[in-house]
Structure 1
Amino acid sequence: MTTTPDLLRPHAEQQFASELAALAAQDDRPRPPAWHLSPQAVVTYLMGGTLPDGTVISPKYVGARRLVEVAVATLATDRALLLLGLPGTAKTWVGEHLAAAVSGRSTLLVQGTSGTAEDAVRYGWNYARLIAEGPSEAALVPSPVMTAMREASVVRIEELTRIPSDVQDALITILSEKTLPVPELGTEVQAARGFNVIATANDRDRGVNELSSALRRRFNTVVLPLPATFEEEVEIVTRRSAQLGTSLDLPTLPAGHEEIRRVVTVFRELRSGRTLDGRTAVRPPSGSLSTAEAISVVTNGVALATHFGDGAIGPDDIAAGILGAVVKDPAGDAAVWSEYLETVVREREGWGSFYAACREVAG
């Protein structure tokens, strides 16, 4: 499967098809049943590296290698994997790439919402056939979970804690017994070796329903943290904004671009409640100010500079995006942002243009 330029957002297995093929061709380590790559090769795909033939594998995740190793090892057992973390810590991104590397496809997906019904996890029915013929295999509509069980594949469940509790509970038998009963047909689907589940959950906005202790026990939990260092976050924002820019025909910013570093500085200071030098305390806003939001601010700034400016991103191009990211609650966050501008940004050397731009858009 190859990337086509007509796709706005290719799946992982499309965008990185050549890397996955190169890894598979040179992967001589043992592979668990139905896996497309060995666990070592899956980690290399996620973390990046250079293969013996010189092929460069780009890093998909910037962070602790051990976390990825634990996640991959979990998928090689009969335990499901829960990726837990704050918004914007790359849970969905990591889950998609894990599924692509393990199963060769990342599209078996249940998107969790407060309205997710049980048939999204178990199965549904083609009601026209059900009425005409009665319950039958032909009338049954399999869920992504059932399909993964039959095809020995990985299925992804996004925002697990947003799914209603009674629907969550439908997973317990699947994860513990590796079967999905179909009482209407007097049968069941047994999971083929290679089946597993990757779920994500947000540990700040805990969603509609907490996981029951019975369901949580069926998962091994890997917590994905915020980027540990300033430079690590700059690298993530630079890499992801470049990938998004390519799909949108936007120019790529050079590594370490001043405006990327400025956005990351603002986000990290407001998240932590203290300036990077540790000298000044600042009030944090109500939002999470995730790395994903920083990527969005930079990408939007590049689009503004490209389509409405001279093509060179500057403080004016990122000011509005930062304001929208910080001020989620107009009553409280506006005061936090104004205070930060006056006590930190205004006094910072080389930030005069950014201060003026932020003041202008804030009104």
Structure 2
Amino acid sequence: MSTQSPNEAILRQHAEQEFAHEIEALKAVDEHPRPPNWALSPWAVRTYLMGGTLSNGVEISPKYIGQARLMEIAISTLATDRALLLYGLPGTAKSWVSEHLAAAISGDSTLVVQGTAGIGEEALRYGWNYARLIADGPSRAALVPSPVMHALEHGALVRVEELTRVPADVQDSLITILSEKTLPVPELNTEVQARKGFNVIATANNRDKGVNELSSALKRRFNTVVLPVPATLEEETEIVERRVGRLGRALELPVETPALQEIQRIVSVFRELRQGMTADGKTKLKTPSGTLSTAEAISVVNSGMALAAHFGDGQMRAGDVASGLLGAIVKDPVQDKVVWQEYLETVVKERSDWKDLYRACREVL
């Protein structure tokens, strides 16, 4: 019989659940002015995202490692009548940041619309319970609110993920919502007006540019914050180390988080291939077709930890990450394989402390 509590048995808790103790600690010391219907002040939201030690001694873990000014701009935008668009390469923590912003500001990160090519207008507006619609005709009881409608009614933040994956005609249903702060329901001859605190956080990645380009009318209603790839090797290594540690505990992997230098080595591979140049700037490299994002580096380390835990001696070694590196880098079996082989022979092989990684990677090619 499991002795776990219901929350402990959940694979991935929502941000407001996982970090509830930090949010409560911030509320206890938060004496700064709060916008209407915000759970925390902008100062406290910034502290929640960037981390720090509170006056009561509670340590707040950083959720975003990067430029604090970007988070300040994002938070300030949400305190105005402008919606927020988080834009950047895949794996630059756009969804992660949007979830934590919603958790800290509204106390609820679950109002989410996932953008896809097949999404309909009802996902952003409302749908109908057709059994009740047929039985009773159009009524509020037959209406099925979308996450956007729910956020309007309760003065909360709603997240729209991958906005540029949404067809243009569906995107445009946001224009009235963002400009007029109201959602018309013509079937009932009524409308839903936004309560104070309502706003929208959308995400989009620049690899989808041109798929469903945002109209100029919709762009004007967003303030865009571009989230860059981590600026330094140390910054990206810290991100990977923190996320790997949390995921390892959530998955209950019977293995310790790998040594910092092992994570740094994987991150170095990703950064050099992504930039098309070795860290010392002396050797130019071909770049693969994939994004080689920080999120993929996290996945490679997690996969290596699982292999070490269940089929090794519990310590992650080069052989445990070799196949993960191959899978992350070689997306095109012809072009990317050449890129990876060249990198192995000209860079990895020549580094004296990378000999084990070179051998392991050659074995899985």
Tell me the TM-score normalised to structure 2 length: 0.97
Are the equivalent residues in 2 in contact too, given 1:162–1:207 (CA < 8 A)?
A: no
The CA deviation string for residues 289-340 of structure 1, in whole angstroms up to 9 with x for no partner, is 0000000000110110000000000100110000000001111101110111
Q: Which amino acid aligns with 1:167?
A: V
Task: Give the corresponding residue for 1:65.
Answer: 68
98-107 vs 199-208, which moves further: 199-208
Q: Say which SS state the counterpart of residue 360 (structure 2) adopts.
A: helix
> CA shift at 1:62, angstroms?
0.1
Task: Give the corresponding residue for 1:330.
Answer: 333
Task: Give the corresponding residue for 1:86.
Answer: 89
- CA distance, structure 2, for counterparts of residue 116 and residue 34 of structure 1: 30
- CA distance, structure 1, for counterparts of residue 6 and residue 269 of structure 2: 35
1:1-363 correspondence runs (5 A): 4-206=7-209, 208-250=211-253, 251-253=255-257, 257-362=260-365
Are the equivalent residues in 1 in contact too, given 2:164–2:208 (CA < 8 A)?
A: no
> CA shift at 1:208, angstroms?
3.1
Are the equivalent residues in 1 in contact too, given 2:248–2:257 (CA < 8 A)?
A: no
> CA shift at 1:360, angstroms?
0.4
Q: Which amino acid aligns with 2:142?
A: A
- CA distance, structure 2, for counterparts of residue 68 and residue 257 of structure 1: 27
Q: Which amino acid aligns with 2:219?
A: R
Unaligned runs of 5+ in 2: none
Are the equivalent residues in 1 in contact too, given 2:165–2:208 (CA < 8 A)?
A: no
Q: What root-mean-square deviation, in Å, do the aligned CA atoms of Structure 1 and Structure 2 show?
A: 1.1
Q: Which amino acid aligns with 1:253?
A: T
- CA distance, structure 1, for counterparts of residue 31 and residue 306 of structure 2: 44
Q: Say which SS state the counterpart of residue 37 (structure 1) adopts.
A: coil
- CA distance, structure 2, for counterparts of residue 161 and residue 297 of structure 1: 27
Unaligned runs of 5+ in 1: none
- CA distance, structure 2, for counterparts of residue 189 and residue 229 of structure 1: 46
The CA deviation string for residues 31-75 of structure 1, in whole angstroms up to 9 with x for no partner, is 000000000000000000011010000000000000000000000
> CA shift at 1:3, angstroms?
7.8
How many residue pairs match? The answer is 360
Q: Which amino acid aligns with 1:71?
A: A
Q: Which amino acid aligns with 1:307?
A: H
